[in-house]
Amino acid sequence: MMELAIEAKRLVRRFGKHLAVDDVSFSVPRGAIYGFLGPNGAGKTTTIRMILGLIRPDSGEVRLFGVNVQERRGEGLRQVGALIEAPALYNHLTGLENLEVAQRLIGGERKAAWKTLESVGLEREGERLVSTYSVGMRQRLGIALALLGNPALLILDEPFEGLDPAGIHALRELLADLSRNRGTTVFIATRLLSEVERLASNVGIMRRGTLLFDGRVDALKEQYDLVLGIRTDDPERAVDVLKRGGDEAFVGADGRLLLSISDAADAGRVNSRLVSEGISVVGLSVDQPSLEEIYLAMTGAVLENSRRWNE
């Protein structure tokens, strides 16, 4: 049986009359990188706070490595490192002292703080007061705080926020390395869908307090049709030709003709039809819909073009 790092069962949480999280269940396999997605106000942060025992669910339960967090909070959180929204740092302390605050709380050797600082590329800034740090440096220090003590589970809420492209790349590499080589489970809530697509093996998608999907990324993509992209010398006429043949196509923002197909073999059929009508096909590609396109479609934040191939 697959070992689970996080198991959320039927979580419900209200704030007054507002139902923030409604019957949410999901599971994160040990060692997986799990992308937790959803628009603002979807209930992601409330769910994360319930996972971390910061707020109690009205009903339901969270288990971390099999331990019920509501019943045995300390034991459940022993293997967890977290970054929740913006990192909370003590501005009057240095970067190293900020790590020391957390290090003393969890116990362990002081040199571990230095190593953690090195892992996020802040070793040269460790003796500087945090009040002089840039936004990106603060974010890296927040990640270092989460990494302290080599947790088996990392829970990161918007970890890419404030990082420059090099910082995003470095963090992506670090998380992938932790998952691959140390077996660390990484749970990321982020708006950067491209990063989730590159990193995550599993995703959960929330909207208005409910979970729309929980499972592997490839399983999610398999639920959607393939997208055929065609470059022609006359896209408008090509749309008419395909329409007469029963294929619904439209011209994308990049000038390509786009239509959904259920099988890659359909590409040959469409190509033959266009050529037989005297339309030159310059290029042809078959793509899976991106996670971003699926996310937009699922959460209702759909651009008209995205919706058309989804229907």
Task: Kindly state the smallest distance separating residue 307's Cβ from other proteins, in Å.
Answer: 36
Are 143 and 107 a contacting pair, CB within 8 Å? no
The smaller minimum CB distance to other proteins, of residues 130 and 228, is found at 130
Kindly tell me which residue out of 82, 141, 192, 220 binds other proteins, with binding defined by CB under 8 A.
Answer: 82
Task: Kindly state the smallest distance separating residue 15's Cβ from other proteins, in Å.
Answer: 8
Task: Kindly state the smallest distance separating residue 181's Cβ from other proteins, in Å.
Answer: 24
Cα distance between residue 167 and residue 261, in whole Å? 38
Are 11 and 3 a contacting pair, CB within 8 Å? no
Residue indicated by tokens 């003796």: 127
Number of residues near other proteins (by CB under 8 A): 30
CA distances, 300 to each of 109, 306, 310 (Å): 49, 11, 12
67 strand-pairing partners: 64
301 binds other proteins (CB under 8 A): no
152 binds other proteins (CB under 8 A): no
67 binds other proteins (CB under 8 A): no
Cα distance between residue 204 and residue 216, in whole Å? 9
Are 3 and 171 a contacting pair, CB within 8 Å? no
154 binds other proteins (CB under 8 A): no
Residue indicated by tokens 């927040």: 142
Cα distance between residue 156 and residue 115, in whole Å? 20
Task: Kindly state the smallest distance separating residue 222's Cβ from other proteins, in Å.
Answer: 36
208 by Cβ neighbours in 10 Å (0-12 / 13-18 / 19+) ranks as middle
Residue indicated by tokens 């995550």: 200
Task: Kindly state the smallest distance separating residue 46's Cβ from other proteins, in Å.
Answer: 9
Residue indicated by tokens 């420059």: 164
Kindly tell me which residue out of 21, 62, 80, 279 binds other proteins, with binding defined by CB under 8 A.
Answer: 80
The smaller minimum CB distance to other proteins, of residues 10 and 56, is found at 56
Are 174 and 119 a contacting pair, CB within 8 Å? yes
Task: Kindly state the smallest distance separating residue 268's Cβ from other proteins, in Å.
Answer: 55
Kindly tell me which residue out of 3, 59, 66, 101 binds other proteins, with binding defined by CB under 8 A.
Answer: 101
Kindly tell me which residue out of 16, 74, 255, 283 binds other proteins, with binding defined by CB under 8 A.
Answer: 74
Kindly tell me which residue out of 97, 225, 266, 277 binds other proteins, with binding defined by CB under 8 A.
Answer: 97
Are 230 and 284 a contacting pair, CB within 8 Å? yes
Task: Kindly state the smallest distance separating residue 54's Cβ from other proteins, in Å.
Answer: 4
169 binds other proteins (CB under 8 A): no
Are 62 and 68 a contacting pair, CB within 8 Å? yes
189 strand-pairing partners: 36, 157
147 binds other proteins (CB under 8 A): no
Task: Kindly state the smallest distance separating residue 49's Cβ from other proteins, in Å.
Answer: 7
The smaller minimum CB distance to other proteins, of residues 82 and 188, is found at 82
The smaller minimum CB distance to other proteins, of residues 89 and 239, is found at 89
For residue 123, give the nearest of 154, 156, 95, 93 by alpha carbon: 95
Kindly tell me which residue out of 100, 225, 277, 292 binds other proteins, with binding defined by CB under 8 A.
Answer: 100
Residues that bind other proteins (CB under 8 A): 49, 52-56, 73-78, 80, 82, 84, 88-93, 97, 100-102, 104-107, 145
